[in-house]
Chain A
């Protein structure tokens, strides 16, 4: 069965839903390709991705259409009609036969694109839509045929007919579609990507090649976006910079800020770090033709009155640290700039988590809503450390000589060096997580005769079948 025919084929009389045998009867040497709906869907998605250089709001109208919401983008292309014409022309240049229509509502645009003669709505939308057949309103077959049977074949006729004179089924859907086309009723469409609350778009008459020109353009976009954010009284937390290449690809640079960012300079700083790092990978040999800066996460700023100078200083310091965290994370990656978080856990290695500093506001690692850690986290009374300054993610096995059954080591070998123990305290028994079947550990704080201090443990008890194993888990000062 034929799923698609090109212009030449349809001029020869081949129609959709005709069987292949009948088609071959009309035109014996036609070229028939197997329909691949999956590939077609992917191609449509790729075209939609390409359209992101015109607007961030692109809706896929399967199997063969797209809606682009270009409100606010027209001026960059010399007007909405010019934008429409350019998109259509460039799609044709890429080898896609297409019809593009421009209208105030998605429904009207759909109708014009598929059934209309002119591609643009003239001043009066009613006038433009009137001559179109009722199928242009996206009615299902039943409703459309019902309307035709009662003599309502065009949209114009539908409009002039009194609303109440239909049967419930055909009537309601038709009325809704009509209202949507005329803009009287809303229509909810789901864009391909959630649209950013604030964005700025620029296109370049000459494609950009060097990192410097791209940075300049980014600077302008940052200024645009900050203006828009200011109008909303908000600051940026996360942003995506899309660089649209002439080759059709979309390169995305992401940045995050640990506080609401209101300065274009600060945003620009983060992008400069990221872009300088990513410069080699940009691979823009054909140039960048457009760029779009999306703010994908923003936060409103409440301005609170500040009265104390000391509070201001503390805040200024916190701001600096926050800006520092942003810059470090932008260049090195958020997983390399960390703050500690103390947790309430039994096993020592689980008493701590490291989080990206972008997500943890300063001076709040103790204020988690949960329980306070049970471990002592202030200096001990006698000034003697009970927990090491560093621990090894994987405890390091050692050979020891110790008195049984639970005495501390007398000497031990670690990293091929034999160490004589001069001082030792313990055991501190930390039982393993019984659910996980982890063995008990007896920890010892041990100092060798050079003054090096270790946190060792023995896993397993003497007298069990397996010989107990010893490890270095951490080091003290």
Chain B
């Protein structure tokens, strides 16, 4: 999965937007290197979920010194900023879009994919799942209960469904926990009941 240039994440339902955004941050944290993370989001996204809080980001494992946040007034600006960000080799670009009635044109996601491929950068697109997209993998992300003693909170946990996978079969559902020290997701549970027949992909272990 790490090799793919464009991924798409969507919230599993209303109220799961934060989970999708945080999952994107986790992936970005796992993959980012020298070039850092560029987070291009529409203003509507910040109104819905709150503005990024660098203290929390640092605890999560994201280096604030290598983070650039672009607050775009319009969707086109956010997409344009994401495209520009993908021209920096090694960068991880998160592009977060607010829900819109008109779905995103396939050309737009294809352009993101091409730019990411050409420059060895990676793009994570976070938006409500629409129909057509050029992304290699698409995930539906929702919150999951954390593992903690008694009533205590544990490490951040997510429930993700692999909705589409260009490199293999789809349909598997994972419960993942974010390990901030190692900057990776640990697998807590796997549910393959909805997976297609060719056998499950193992995107967690396939991550470098």
Contact = CB atoms under 8 A, between A and B. Distances in A.
13 contacts: A328-B70, A332-B81, A336-B72, A340-B69, A379-B181, A387-B56, A389-B18, A393-B50, A422-B151, A423-B151, A450-B145, A452-B16, A476-B56
B160 to A, nearest CB: 12
Contact of B88 (A321, A375, A450): A321
Nearest to A451: B143
Interface in A275-294: none
B208 interface: no
Interface string B62-90: 00111111111100010011001101111
A320 interface: yes
Contacts of A158: none
Given A321-B36, A328-B70, A390 B153 contact: no
Contacts of A388: 50, 53, 56
A390 B68 contact: no
A336 B146 contact: no
Contacts of B34: 313-314, 317-318
Interface residues of B, number: 65
Interface string A325-364: 1011001100011111110000010011010010000111
A100 B62 CA distance: 65
Given A352-B53, A445-B153, A320 B143 contact: no
Contacts of A424: 151, 153
B143 A452 contact: yes
A45 interface: no
Contacts of B90: 317
B178 interface: yes
Interface of B: 15-16, 18-19, 21-23, 25-26, 34-36, 38, 49-61, 64-73, 77, 80-81, 84-85, 87-91, 142-146, 148, 151-159, 178-181
Interface residues of A, number: 64
B64 A383 contact: no
A376 interface: yes
Contact of A477 (B35, B178, B181): B178
B90 to A, nearest CB: 6
B66 A391 contact: no
Of the candidates B50, B53, B69, B181, the one having the most CB atoms from chain A within 10 angstroms of its own CB is: B53
